[in-house]
Amino acid sequence: MEKNKIITFGMGCFWGAQDIFDKVGGVKETIVGYMGGESKNPTYEEICSGNGHTEVVQVRYNKEKVSVKELIEVFFKSHNPELKNKEQYKSVVFYYDKKQKEAAEDLKKDFYATEILPAEDFWKAEEYHQHYFKKNNTKT
């Protein structure tokens, strides 16, 4: 049985989101990228022009060390879902299975702006975006 799982979050700029989830115990890997738009293999410049994609952090985690509920709690505590000035920064949980969907729906409560959607194609962001805060010695 597979113990490593994936969940993807959109919660504003993906640099900070990646830094937050890199510090969570049980998280094996994070990758920033784009999800939710129509175009294939979009670039950052296309995202910024409003092509429908959202900046996301894809979180690979060991379900024996951290629960999906714990990860979703971190998601909700780490950003303001109501602050949505661009489609690329919207608050969204992209789920990969029924358990993730149910956990997100249970924890959503009053966060009306947060969307809970089935995962779509994930497009990895350009390398200079990966672990941006670490590379540039920036702290959240």
Residue with tokens 């994070």: 30
Q: Which residues are catalytic?
A: 13
pLDDT score of 84: 64
Beta bridge partners of 118: 95
Euclidean distance between the first and the last CA atom of the chain, given in angstroms as a whole number: 35
pLDDT score of 108: 92
pLDDT lower than 70: segments of the chain: 1, 84-85, 139-140
β-strand pairing of 115-118 with 54-62 = unpaired
pLDDT score of 58: 98
**Distance (Å, rounded) from C-alpha 4 to C-alpha 54?**
24
pLDDT score of 140: 56
Strand, coil or helix: 58 = strand
Q: What is the pLDDT of residues 88-100, one digit of tens each?
A: 999 999 999 999 9
Tell me if 68 sits within 8 A of 40, measured CB to CB.
Answer: no
Q: What is the pLDDT of residues 18-46, one digit of tens each?
A: 999 999 999 999 999 999 988 999 999 99
Tell me if 126 sits within 8 A of 135, measured CB to CB.
Answer: no
Domain 4-135 fold: Peptide Methionine Sulfoxide Reductase; Chain A (3.30.1060)
